[in-house]
A and B are shown apart, each in its own frame.
Chain A
Amino acid sequence: MDIELKSTLTSAQELLLMKYHDGECSRLECWRVRRLLNAHPHAGTFLTELGRTGMCSDALSIHCPSGIDLWDRVERRIVQEECALALLSHKKVAGVKVPERKFFISPWIARLGWGVSGALVTASVGAIMIEPRSFNDRPGLTLASTGNTPRIVENAPLARTVSTMRSGLEADYLIGGGSVGIIDAPEGRSPLLWVNRSRKSDRSAALQKVVPVTQTLNAHSLSHLGAR
C-alpha cells in the first residue's frame, strides 16, 4: 500500500503532486500536474497511491476511468473460457491456415527451453524482490566521515539524496529556508539538521573540519557543498 521508496520523481514533482492531492494547487499548478501526469509514467502511480487514502482527483479519473472494474472483466473472460471449453471442443479458426512450424530440434525440447526460460525469468524477478534493499546502497551524496569530531556541512538550500554513511540520517531531499547543515551526533546516532537562516550570527562552534564531497548529484544537484 505504500509508495515505492525509490521514487523516480524529483522532489519538486513529488511536492507538486502532494499539493495537488491536498487540493492546494493553483490553476497553473493544476495544469502543470496534468502535464506531468501525461509525461511521467510514475506520476499517475504516485497520485493513485495518495488517492487510495481518501480523496479522488480529476486527474485520477483521466487515468483510471470509473465504472470499469478489471476484476469483473477478468472474471467474465474466465467464465467465457470455461463455457467455451465445456461446449466446444478445441478452438479452430476457420479460414486461417496456420503454417506448420519447423523446428531444427524436437518441438518438445523447444517448449522445454521456453519453460525453463520462463522459470528463470520468474526466479530472477523473485530474487530481485526478495533481496533486501539497503538504503545505504542508494546512489547519492556521500559525506566523508571526519572521525568523532563534530562537524557541520553547510550546503545549498536544496540537497537531493543525502545519506551519511556512518550515522543514521538519510533523506531524499532537504530544502531549507537557509543553508542546511548536518551536525554529527555522538555514539553513531542520527545527526542533527540545522537550518542556518541568519548568516550574521556565527554559530560555528561545532565546525572543525572541512568535509570533502565525493560525488556530485545528477538531478536537482547541489550547486556546491562547501564546509568551513
Chain B
Amino acid sequence: MDFRDFNRVSYIGRSGLSEVIALNSVFNKGQFQRGAAVLFLGLASFVAGVASAQEKYSDVLVSVRAVRAEEPVDEKEEVHPQIQEELGDISKKLEKLPYKRFLLMSKERFSVPLLKKHQVQLAGHRVTVRPMAVEQKKVALFLYWQDDRGSDVLKSKLYLMPGESMLAGTDHNADSGIIMAIDVTPIEP
C-alpha cells in the first residue's frame, strides 16, 4: 500500500464504506478529479482534526463543599454574616443569602472521567455528578443532589466555568440551609 493508499485509508476510517467506492471511482479518472479528490481529502482531514481537537480532556477534577447556613435573617435586616475562613473565596456570593452564619461542614475533591458517574456523601446529603462534556473549557456537568432524607433537591445539567464556584442551596429546615459549592477543572490526559 503506497502513501496515497494510506491517505485514503485514514480518510475512509473516519467516513465509512460508501466513500471507498466513491473515491475509487474518482481516483481512476483524469487529473482534475485526482486534484479535486486530494483537495477534498485535505479539507476532510482538516475538519476531522478540528473536531478531534475537542477531545483532549479525559477527566474532570470536581470539588464539592457542603456549607451550612444558620440563623435566617429578616428581609430588611442589614447583617454582616460570619463566614468561615475556608469559605473566603465564595464569601461574596454567600453574603447574598439571608443568613447570619456560614460554616463549612464537609468537602470532597475527586477526579471523574468524562461520562462516568461519581457519588459523594456530604453531611448526609448525596451528591452525584457526571461530567458530560468539555467544550471551550466549559464543563457540562450532570448534577443530582439528594438530601439526608433521600428527597430530591436538585437535578440539573449545568455548564460550569472552571475556576469559579457554582453555588446551589436549599432550606434545610426553618433555622438553617445547606449550600453545595461545586468547582470543576478539566484535566488533560
- A: residues with CB less than 8 A from B are 1-5, 11, 14-15, 18, 22, 49-50, 52-54, 70-71, 73-75, 77-78, 81-82, 90, 108, 111-112, 115, 118-119, 122-123, 125-126, 129-130, 132-133, 135, 150, 168-178, 180, 183-187, 189-190, 192-198, 200-206
The answer to whether A176 and B20 touch (CB under 8 A), given A118-B40, A135-B159, A198-B174, is: no
> Is the Cβ of A119 less than 8 Å from the Cβ of B151?
no
CA distance A203 to B170 in the complex (A): 11
Q: How far is the CB of B41 from chain A (nearest CB, A)?
A: 10
The answer to whether A77 and B20 touch (CB under 8 A), given A177-B153, A198-B174, A201-B174, is: yes
Give the A-B contact count at a CB cut-off of 8 A.
204
Residue in A2, A70, A73, A112 whose CB lies within 8 Å of B133 = A2
Residues of B within 8 A of A74 (CB): 9, 12-13, 16-17, 20
Q: Give residues of chain B (93-107) contacting chain A, Cβ–Cβ below 8 Å.
A: 93, 95-98
> Is the Cβ of A190 less than 8 Å from the Cβ of B154?
no
> Is the Cβ of B20 less than 8 Å from the Cβ of A126?
no
Residue in A52, A90, A183 whose CB lies within 8 Å of B115 = A52
Residue in A71, A90, A133, A205 whose CB lies within 8 Å of B74 = A205
The answer to whether A205 and B154 touch (CB under 8 A), given A71-B13, A74-B13, A119-B43, is: no
Residues of B within 8 A of A193 (CB): 154, 156, 166-169
> Is the Cβ of B153 less than 8 Å from the Cβ of A176?
yes
Residues of A within 8 A of B108 (CB): none
Residue in B33, B55, B136 whose CB lies within 8 Å of A115 = B33
Whether, in the assembled complex, B85 has its beta carbon less than 8 Å from a beta carbon of chain A, the answer is no
CA distance A197 to B168 in the complex (A): 13
The answer to whether A5 and B133 touch (CB under 8 A), given A169-B158, A176-B154, is: yes
> Is the Cβ of B170 less than 8 Å from the Cβ of A1?
no
Residue in A75, A122, A175, A201 whose CB lies within 8 Å of B40 = A122
The dominant DSSP class at the B interface is mixed
- B: residues with CB less than 8 A from A are 1, 5, 8-9, 12-13, 16-17, 20, 24, 28-29, 32-33, 36, 39-40, 43-44, 46-47, 50-51, 54-55, 57-58, 72-77, 92-93, 95-98, 113-117, 130, 132-136, 138, 140, 142, 147, 151-161, 164, 166-171, 173-174, 179
Q: A122-B44, A192-B169 are in contact. List 19 more A-B contacts (CB 8 A).
A: A3-B133, A4-B133, A5-B159, A73-B17, A78-B8, A78-B9, A122-B40, A125-B47, A126-B47, A132-B136, A169-B158, A175-B154, A176-B153, A194-B97, A194-B170, A196-B171, A200-B174, A205-B74, A205-B98
> Is the Cβ of A135 less than 8 Å from the Cβ of B36?
no
> Is the Cβ of A175 less than 8 Å from the Cβ of B167?
no
CA distance A173 to B157 in the complex (A): 6
Interface-central residue, B54, B75, B132, by most chain A CB under 10 Å: B132
Q: Closest B residue to A115 by CB, please name it.
A: B36
Residues of A within 8 A of B44 (CB): 122
CA distance A201 to B75 in the complex (A): 11
CA distance A2 to B55 in the complex (A): 7
Q: Closest B residue to A170 by CB, please name it.
A: B159
